[in-house]
Amino acid sequence: MFGLFGIVWFLGFQFVAEDQPSINSASLSPSQPNPKAKSWETSMEEFGGSLNVPWKSFFQSKAVWAMIYAHFCGSWGHYCCLSWLPTYFSLVLVCSYVHTFCIKTQVSVLPPLASVVVTSFASQFADSLISNGVETTVVRKICQTIAFLSPAACMILSSVDLGLPPWEVVAILTGGLALSSFALSGAKLNQIWYFSCCFCVSAREDLKLSSFVWLQDFIGITNTVGAVPGIVGVALTGYLLDSTHSWSMSLFAPSIFFYLTGTIVWLALASSKPQTFKKID
């Protein structure tokens, strides 16, 4: 379905591009600059500037490492549950309720649907705290802590044999995974806020530039690190499941570990306060 939407989006822009007047190089006088050539030169200048990133200053910042690790931990739980939770619901919980409870696909869609509701509430919650004078760093830490500890607690309850009926386990996991959407008001939003408030100092020109220009580079780093669990974590979960035949050890235990350690690192190192990055020219 997403692929079809992408094709429609692409074709729509093809029609828009066709409506734009074409540039005939023959109609340009020698004194008139070629817009295409200018665009190419501008692109090359931007490319050269993108290589001059203060990487050393980035990785010397504790707050940067906190955001990178938080992204990794959140992605581990997200991708592993996204890939394996439908199978868990089907084989462990829904099998005996297939005619009376729900089919696998209907149960598996509950966490994403609940996340839509929680996301709307989380944004209002964070904005309310900031408008009431709570420090931005404290707000980001609160939201990210909720996003990590909620699914961790629900996974612990689900992995322990408490004799709960399947629908209660589904409700617990749905609630915990939905609350992980608080990360959108925590670490995920903090990286944008952090880099829009920080500055980069040029050693050669002694000028302060908003490090918002480096935001795309930093998001590239966090997204790359955050994509690793989608490859390693999903495969490791399958390997552990084949080896241990235990959902608690294969799916829940690693996610709980990263949620808890991510919370500790985030509370200890995260910050939304402006910082100066030193760029060596």
Convert the pLDDT of each residue in 207-251 to its tens digit.
Answer: 344 455 566 777 888 889 989 999 999 999 999 999 998 999 999
Average pLDDT, the chain: 77
Residue 74: its H or E element: helix 62-88
Ramachandran area for residue 229 (φ above 0: left; ψ -120 to 50: alpha; else beta): alpha
pTM reported for the whole predicted model: 0.74
pLDDT score of 26 more than 60? no
Nearest alpha carbon to residue 136 among 198, 62, 193: 193
Residue 150's nearest CA partner among 23, 38, 260 is 260
CATH code that applies to domain 55-279 = 1.20.1250.20
Which pLDDT score, from 0 to 100, does residue 281 have? 47
Taking residues 32-41, report their average pLDDT. Answer: 51
Judge whether residue 115 has pLDDT over 50.
Answer: yes
> Between these two residues, 272 and 79, which has the higher pLDDT value?
79
pLDDT of residue 36: 47
Instruction: Return d(Cα 164, Cα 3) in angstroms, integer.
Output: 39
